[in-house]
Amino acid sequence: MKPSSVSAAAPLLPLDLWLPGQEILRGAPAALVPWLTDPGLLTDRVREAAGAAVQVRVVEERLGFLSAEQRALLAAAADSCFVRRVELVAAGRPWVFAESLVPDHTLELHPWLAELGDSSLGTTLAGLAGIRRGAFEYAPLPAVHPLAAAALARRPGAGVVWARRSWFELSGRRLLVQEVFLTGDGA
């Protein structure tokens, strides 16, 4: 009997690699930890580190679907959502890849979330009153993870990238922001 070719295939990775708390960050490059834990605006941090203006480059906007875990995290009524992927670019290179997942019920109340264009979501949210933010969760994502693969699509060769995510709540409706740091050393 021949061995099954299925056993030779790479194992399937769980999509839920996110963990709360900073204990997981012990494995992250030391210079990247302040970036991962900073609750401030990433556009400001990138501008300061790069010494240059930050451009929000829209990579993709489309309809998508939440995983069961994301749906529970966002208290979403359905699994459909608006997906927005952007890069924060400064000094000629991308620093951060960000994915925003906006459930349909949130988009119904806040349709402007699908009309940001090249405006920064973080800067826009910072200017609004009554916004709540959930705690950060962190993950070292292998390059084959769907979020990491999207972030690295134009940069093959990376092994693991560090990411963080948190939800934001506007008028009782949540959206999820997941950020992948494209510089392993934080600079």
Question: pLDDT of 92-117, one tens digit each?
Answer: 999 999 999 999 999 999 999 999 99
**pLDDT (tens digit, 9 = 90+) per residue, 40-88?**
999 999 999 999 999 999 999 999 999 999 999 999 999 999 999 999 9
User: Is the pLDDT assigned to residue 162 strictly greater than 90?
Assistant: yes
> Is the model more confident about 15 or about 90?
90
* Gap between the Cα atoms of 133 and 39, Å rounded: 10
Question: What gap in Å lies between CA 169 and CA 20, rounded to an integer?
Answer: 18
Cα-based distances in Å from 149 to 70, 91, 180:
18, 23, 10
148 in any annotated domain: yes
In a domain, 2, yes or no: no
Domain containing residue 137: 17-181
**What is the pTM for the complete model shown?**
0.88
CATH of the domain at 98: 3.40.1410.10
Report the domain count for the chain: 1
d(CA 129, CA 77): 24
User: 153 in a domain, yes or no?
Assistant: yes
